[in-house]
Structure 1
Amino acid sequence: MGRGSSLLPCSLKMDANRRQSGIQQLLAAEQEAQQIVNAARAAKSARLRQAKEEAEREIAEYRAQMEAEFQRKVAESSGDSGANVKRLEQETTEKIEQLKQQAASISPEVIQMLLRHVTTVKN
């Protein structure tokens, strides 16, 4: 019996050591898992930051393209405006010439009519 009782404390010590070892393994696994989670969060944050920067770059490029297109259209329409002004000036000049010709053609008749009315005396 003396022997059996001496085995028991040794067995308890081994169980306690195994439990302690199991706890240490669990703690180590938990730390490793936490490191993996932290690394994943950092990678996700970096990807989000990179995606945001890329989106901002694309937006800036698109904005520059649209601004260039707008400026080109403004330049084209103002060029058309200059052509319209030229055309209107030419049409106006032609119309003035037509009116001068019409006035010159009826001017002698108008002068005769005015002279006749001015020189005729009515009672």
Structure 2
Amino acid sequence: MAKEAPNPRLTGTCSLNLTSDRMASNRGQGGIQQLLAAEQEAQRIVNAAKNEKMARLKQAKEEAEKEIAEYRAQMEYEFQKKVSESTGDSGANVKRLEKETEAKIHHLKTEAGRISEDVVTMLLKYVTSVKN
């Protein structure tokens, strides 16, 4: 096969195509740079959103712990109040029961002293009498 002489019209076209390829390559690199910049911006936005979310979660946790502490303190106060009331009532009840018990003991001793002679007489009567 014999080599053909280059066609000058085709050579010019080829040269034009190389220049277009270089420009497209430069545009492609510019596009890559834009994509990288967009990716970095997106990453910055995502990181900012994560940081905001973490800050909100931390704040919510602190508020919840504060509410829990307040509720716990209120419940503890009410519990101590009821304990002191029941202890106070218990002390009053104990004193009242002691007074009632002393009064009943005194009443029983008084009644026993009052009827003891009658009881002794009745017992002697039944013990000494013989029935057929």
Matches within 5 A, 1:38-57: 38-57=47-66
Q: Give the RMSD, CA atoms, in angstroms.
A: 2.5
Consecutive unaligned residues of structure 2, counting only runs of 5 or more, are 1-8
Check 1:113–1:9 CA distance in 2 against 1; reply closer, same or farther (3 A cut).
Answer: closer
Deviation at 1:8, TM superposition (A): 3.1
Deviation at 1:70, TM superposition (A): 0.7
Matches within 5 A, 1:38-117: 38-110=47-119
TM (normalized to structure 1)? Answer: 0.81
Matches within 5 A, 1:15-30: 15-30=24-39
Check 1:8–1:102 CA distance in 2 against 1; reply closer, same or farther (3 A cut).
Answer: same
* Larger CA Rg, structure 1 vs 2: 2
Q: How many correspondences in the alignment?
A: 120
TM (normalized to structure 2)? Answer: 0.76
Deviation at 1:24, TM superposition (A): 0.5
Give the structure with the larger helix fraction: 1
